[in-house]
Amino acid sequence: MQGNMRTPIRKAGKFLQIKQDPLLSTEKISELNNELVRLKNAVPKQAEEVSRLADLGDFSENAGYQFAKGKLRGMNQRIFELEKQLNHAEEIKPMKDFSKIMVGHTVTLLTNDKEIVYKILGSEESSPHNGVISHSSPIGYALIGRKVGDIVKVSLPKGEVEYKILKIE
C-alpha cells in the first residue's frame, strides 16, 4: 500500500538552513552576550550534576540522569547558536542623518487619522505589538529610503494601507 505513505512535516528553519538576519541593535547584542556568559558559567555545574547522576547506576532507568543529560545537551546547543549568531551579527548603528528612513530609525506615521510610531530594526527583534518592525517586513521595506511628507501604500493581508511619514528620529 504505497498510496498511504505520508511525507514528514518539517518546521521551517529547524531542518532547513535559513539564513538569519544579521542586523541586531546594540542592546540585543549585549543581551545575547549576557545570555552566552550565563550559560557558559552554568555548564560546568550541569556537567557535574550529569556525572553525579551517572554514578548512581543503570542509565536506562535513571530518569534524573536522562533529564540532566538532555538539559546539558540543550545548553550546549544554545551556546553554539548564540556564538554563531553573535559571530555573524552586524550592529545597527543609527545614522544621525534623518533626511530619509534607515534601519535603526524611529518613524511616526499617520494612517486612518491615527498616529503610529515604529522603530525599524532587524527581523530578529521584530515585535509589531511593541512598536518594533523589521526592515524586511512589508511596512519596513516600503519605508526604507523615504522622507518626511512621503505617502507610502503597503499591501497587507487586510488590504492596502496608506501611511504618511510625519517624523523620523
pLDDT digits (tens, 9 = 90+) for 108-122: 999 999 999 999 999
pLDDT, average across residues 75-82: 95
E strand segments, the chain: 23-24, 90-91, 106-111, 114-121, 132-134, 151-156, 159-168
Alpha-carbon distance 165 to 79, whole Å?
Answer: 41
Q: Would the pLDDT of 11 be above 80?
A: no
Q: Would the pLDDT of 36 be above 90?
A: yes
20-91 and 106-168 have identical folds: no
Alpha-carbon distance 38 to 140, whole Å?
Answer: 33
pLDDT, average across residues 6-14: 55
Asked whether 151 and 162 are in contact (CB, 8 A), the reply is yes
The second-level CATH assignment, the architecture, of 106-168 is Roll (3.10)
Alpha-carbon distance 151 to 134, whole Å?
Answer: 19
pLDDT digits (tens, 9 = 90+) for 134-163: 999 999 999 999 999 999 999 988 889 999
Best CA proximity match to 126, nearest among 14, 23, 10 = 23
**20 or 128, higher pLDDT:** 128
Alpha-carbon distance 63 to 2, whole Å?
Answer: 39
Alpha-carbon distance 11 to 22, whole Å?
Answer: 21
Instruction: Give 102's strand partners.
Output: none
Q: What single-letter DSSP state applies at residue 3?
A: G
* Residue 168: how many other CB atoms lie within 10 Å: 19
Give the pLDDT confidence score for residue 1 in this predicted structure: 46
Domain coordinates of the chain in residue numbers?
A: 20-91, 106-168
CATH number of 20-91: 1.10.287.180
How many residues appear in the chain? 169
Give the pLDDT confidence score for residue 18 in this predicted structure: 60
Three-state DSSP class for 71? Answer: helix
